[in-house]
Homo-oligomer: A and B are copies of this chain.
Amino acid sequence: MFEEKQPAVSVDKLTWMYEQMVKIRYYEDQMVEAYTEGKSPVFNIGEGPVPGEMHLATGQEPAAAGMMVHLTKDDTVTAPHRPHHHAIAKGVDLKKMTAEIFGKESGLGKGKGGHMHLFDPEVKFSCGGIVAAGIPHAVGAAMANKMKGKDWVAVAFIGEGAANAGAFHESLNLAALWNLPLIVVVEDNSYGISVPKTASTSVESNDLRASAYGVAGAYVKDNDPIAMYKASEEAVNRARNGQGPTIIEIQTYRFLGHFQGDPELYRDKDEVPGLRARDPIMKLRQQLADAEKMSEQELEEIETRAKKEVDEAYQFARDSDYPKPEAALNDVFTS
């Protein structure tokens, strides 16, 4: 066999990805700060402007950016409990999303959903707090697309831990059987909370499970944004062309704890510094500078723009009002 020469990825696309990744990273960094407010000196999960559990995606940006660059707002994305990177790259309204996380009336869900439950039907984005439960929803979106005769695709993002849940199996069998435009992206960040992949998964990687459904599988090593771009491109084309589902597994890095406040006693102290040394954002920046000849100034412009957008979103969230308490009784049913 010979190595097929891959067409180069266009600068535009790479730049878009870079901007998304920077935006995500900065968003999560700001969230670390916001989440910590009101929780020191004594950490109390229920306190501060952002209470409750908080699962951040710092380090996992390539999965989101490398897939979303191929999607439009007509394509559906479902995400799990760690959803900010997907939401941002999918183009979810950043102000409303942040307001939601701050529990405000102006939030996507009027403060009823919170960080794990972000719904933006404008760009067909949803997420949820139950592991693997978003896969069937993506199957349903894919089904709807097919029924409507559209070439829209549906992408379900899950963690490697979620791939051992029954919903994974049922959904892939169904999507394969009905030849649906579904892509499942498994983000392998090595852990499901504290449980390492070797203690949860009986095979090396979940793309190997593609053969159990007769679908395509792809593996992306080392959290590589460009490799993710390419694997996603193939999968999206396959889905759009009516050639059925794909499972992509990407090896990614969880720089932070499972949730904020995680003591992380289950992993080696050196692990995260090692991962951070291979920061995918730094890598892509270098690639843009070296291969694409982007100037430091151009790169900084992108970074500034991304950060500004994030800062404005946080400001919007902070400036917004809390809902009226009685609003808790609304929105169970529509009439």
Question: Chain A interface (Cβ within 8 Å of chain B)?
Answer: 164-170, 172-174, 176-177, 199-203, 208-209, 211-215
What is the CA–CA distance of A174 and B201 in the complex, to the nearest angstrom? 8
Query: What are 19 A-to-B residue pairs whose CB atoms are below 8 Å?
Result: A165-B166, A165-B169, A166-B166, A166-B167, A166-B169, A166-B170, A168-B169, A169-B169, A169-B170, A172-B202, A177-B199, A202-B214, A202-B215, A203-B212, A203-B213, A203-B214, A208-B212, A209-B212, A211-B212
Query: In the complex where A209-B212, A212-B209 touch, is A176 in contact with B202 (Cβ < 8 A)?
Result: yes
Q: Which partner residue on chain B sits nearest A163 by CB separation?
A: B173
- Our pick among B174, B201, B211 for the contact of A173 (Cβ within 8 Å) is B201
Q: Which partner residue on chain B sits nearest A179 by CB separation?
A: B202
What is the CA–CA distance of A193 and B29 in the complex, to the nearest angstrom? 54
- Our pick among B170, B177, B200 for the contact of A165 (Cβ within 8 Å) is B170
CB distance from A247 to the nearest CB of B (A): 10
> Within 8 Å CB of A215, what residues of B?
202
CB distance from A204 to the nearest CB of B (A): 8
What is the CA–CA distance of A174 and B199 in the complex, to the nearest angstrom? 10
Known: A166-B167, A173-B201, A208-B212. 15 other contacts (CB 8 A): A164-B170, A165-B166, A165-B169, A166-B166, A166-B168, A169-B169, A169-B170, A173-B202, A176-B202, A177-B199, A177-B200, A202-B214, A202-B215, A203-B212, A211-B212
> Within 8 Å CB of A214, what residues of B?
202-203
> Within 8 Å CB of A167, what residues of B?
166
CB distance from A58 to the nearest CB of B (A): 29
CB distance from A246 to the nearest CB of B (A): 13
What is the CA–CA distance of A209 and B215 in the complex, to the nearest angstrom? 12
CB distance from A174 to the nearest CB of B (A): 8
